[in-house]
Amino acid sequence: MDMLGSIKLWLKNDESAIAKVCHRCIRELMHFSIPVIPFIHPCMLRIHLLITHLFANMLRVLYWTPLFKSRLVTRPSNLYLYSGMPLVLGHLTIEMGDNCRVSGISTLSGRSMDGQPSRLIIGNNVDINWQNNIAVGGNIVIEDNVRLAGRVFLAGYPGHPVDAKERAAGLPDNEHQVGDIILKRDVWLATGVSVMAGVTIGEGTIVATGSIVTSDLPPGVLAGGIPAKVIKSL
């Protein structure tokens, strides 16, 4: 053990008065900060926010957005990409419409389908919020005006087989575990919703927070639960 580690252990565990005084003084130093100075610190905060926002927007316009567009099959107009660039993995083609807003803190992945890439098709005026995970096994279609809140998971493929021996051997998932997902126009998936492979959600339907959708949902309803069931018509 190095000297610094030995000192930390002594300070934390020794019952002597010297160790306790030293430990208390170090903790007070660690938590020390100068008091807020009226006018000066609020002005410094505004300057800091202005600089960071300007820098973030410059990165968005000049770096992240053109890089991400170069990965797409289409060239959408008015794409608003924020918080960096989504992580794109696997064998995947991405088609995107106009006026979309996409969080860079998202993951888009695709499964190779007999050597062909999976397809992610995103319509116009779609929101893909922070920490979304869109796993495309075949096709995922997100139609116009769809809203995906934070931590939505579209599970078009699981990535691993059901059989434990096959998993341990590192084999891929099986074809029967994979399926398309279709979100019709004006669907809204609230925070933490998961949608399983093979599911279609009808036009205008809203799925409540934390729900897991395992089967098709009709248009124009509020659904929720595990598994998600129709709660009422909208």
* 160 catalytic residue (yes or no): yes
Cα–Cα distance measured from residue 40 to residue 10, given in angstroms and rounded to the nearest whole number: 41
Cα–Cα distance measured from residue 188 to residue 125, given in angstroms and rounded to the nearest whole number: 13
Question: 223 with 205: CB under 8 angstroms?
Answer: yes
Side-chain-side CA neighbours of 123 within 13 Å: the count stands at 15
**Tokens 């992580």, located at residue:** 87
Two tokens, residue 151: 């931590």
Question: 128 with 147: CB under 8 angstroms?
Answer: no
Question: 100 with 77: CB under 8 angstroms?
Answer: no
Assess whether the previous peptide bond of 227 is cis (omega < 30° from 0).
Answer: yes
Cα–Cα distance measured from residue 106 to residue 224, given in angstroms and rounded to the nearest whole number: 23
Two tokens, residue 30: 């660690």
Q: Which residues contact 112 (CB under 8 A, 6 or more apart)?
A: 90, 91, 118
Q: Which of 31, 41, 91, 160 is catalytic?
A: 160
For the annotated catalytic residues, the residue numbers are: 160
